[in-house]
Structures are given as C-alpha cells and as structure tokens.
Amino acid sequence: MAETTGTTRKSTPARKAPAAKRTSTARRQTTRTKSSTASKRGAATTANRRTQARAHQAERRAGTRLDQAQAVAERAVLVQVGAALEARDRVVSTVNGVVELTSNRTAAERQIKKLEKRGATARTRVEREVKGLRRNVTANAGRVAAQVENVVQTGLTAGAKIVAGASDRVASVAI
C-alpha cells in the first residue's frame, strides 16, 4: 500500500498544477466574459440611443412636413384671396373712372379723343407688322418654289439615268 500511497502522492501534485492552471484559465475566461458582456451592454446602449435619436428625428420631420403642408395650403388660400381683392380694386377704379368721365363733358371728350388716338396708333403698328410678314412670306415662297423645282429636276435627271441604264441592260441581254 505504500507504493499505492506514493503513487497517489506523486499524482496529487500533478493534479493540483492543472487545477491551478484551470483556475487561472477560468479567471481569464471570466474576465473575458465580463469584458465581453460589458462591451455588449455598451453596444446595446449605443444602439438604443441611436434608435431613440432616429425616432425623435422622424417625429421632427413629420412635424416639419405637416408644417410645410399647412404652409402650402395657407399660401394657396391667400393667393386666391389676394387675386379676388386685386380684381375688386380694379373694378372699383374702372367704375370710378367711368363716373368721373360722365360727370364732366369736357373730360369725357378728352378721354374719348385719347382712346381714339391710342386705337389708331395700335392699328398702324399692326398694319406695319402685317406688311413685313407679307414681304417675308413672298420672299420665302420664291425660295421654296426654287427648291422644289431643283428637287423635281434632280429626280427627273436621276430617273432618266435609271431608264437609260435599264435600256442598255435590256439591249445587251437581247443581243
């Protein structure tokens, strides 16, 4: 039994050494696990904060979009109201002008002469423009007629060449 006891004693210290190694390995693994867990928690916290920040940004954008839509709708209404008021002002000024013309005979005659002169000036301007357009059309018509004649003549010449070539071929085959 002494031999068995001696063998046991020899193997016991050998077992303690691996146990000590296991303990330090276990400590390293525990430390790694703790640091890994801590880094995972940190990453999760960061991700959570990013998600919350994005949610807040989305809420702000939605509010901004709502404000923009409201501003567009308000602008459309204000444009229509402004146009109606502008039309009203023009009608009022026209009516006031007519009332002034009819209340004073000399002012009415003066206004009629002014309008007649303005109409005559506009008629003269239109007549000048029409004369210029007639000249341009006449000149362009001459150019277009010459171009058409050139195209027709070119077509006739090409047709005559084709007929002459075909006649020569027929003549050479018949002989």
pTM: 0.30
pLDDT exceeds 90 at position 3 = no
Note the pLDDT tens digit of each residue in 43-101: 778 888 888 888 878 777 767 877 888 888 888 888 888 888 899 889 888 888 777 66
Lowest mean pLDDT among 53-62, 122-131, 142-151, 163-172: 53-62
Mean of the per-residue pLDDT values for the chain? Answer: 79
SS (H, E, C) the chain: CHHHHHHHHHHHHHHHHHHHHHHHHHHHHHHHHHHHHHHHHHHHHHHHHHHHHHHHHHHHHHHHHHHHHHHHHHHHHHHHHHHHHHHHHHHHHHHHHHHHHHHCHHHHHHHHHHHHHHHHHHHHHHHHHHHHHHHHHHHHHHHHHHHHHHHHHHHHHHHHHHHHHHHHHHHHHHC
Give the whole-angstrom CA distance, residue 172 versus residue 133.
Answer: 58
The whole-number average pLDDT for the span 107-133 is 89
Asked if 101 contacts 107 with a C-beta cutoff of 8 angstroms, the reply is yes
* Cα 48 from chain centre: 36
User: Domain extents for the chain?
Assistant: 50-103, 105-136
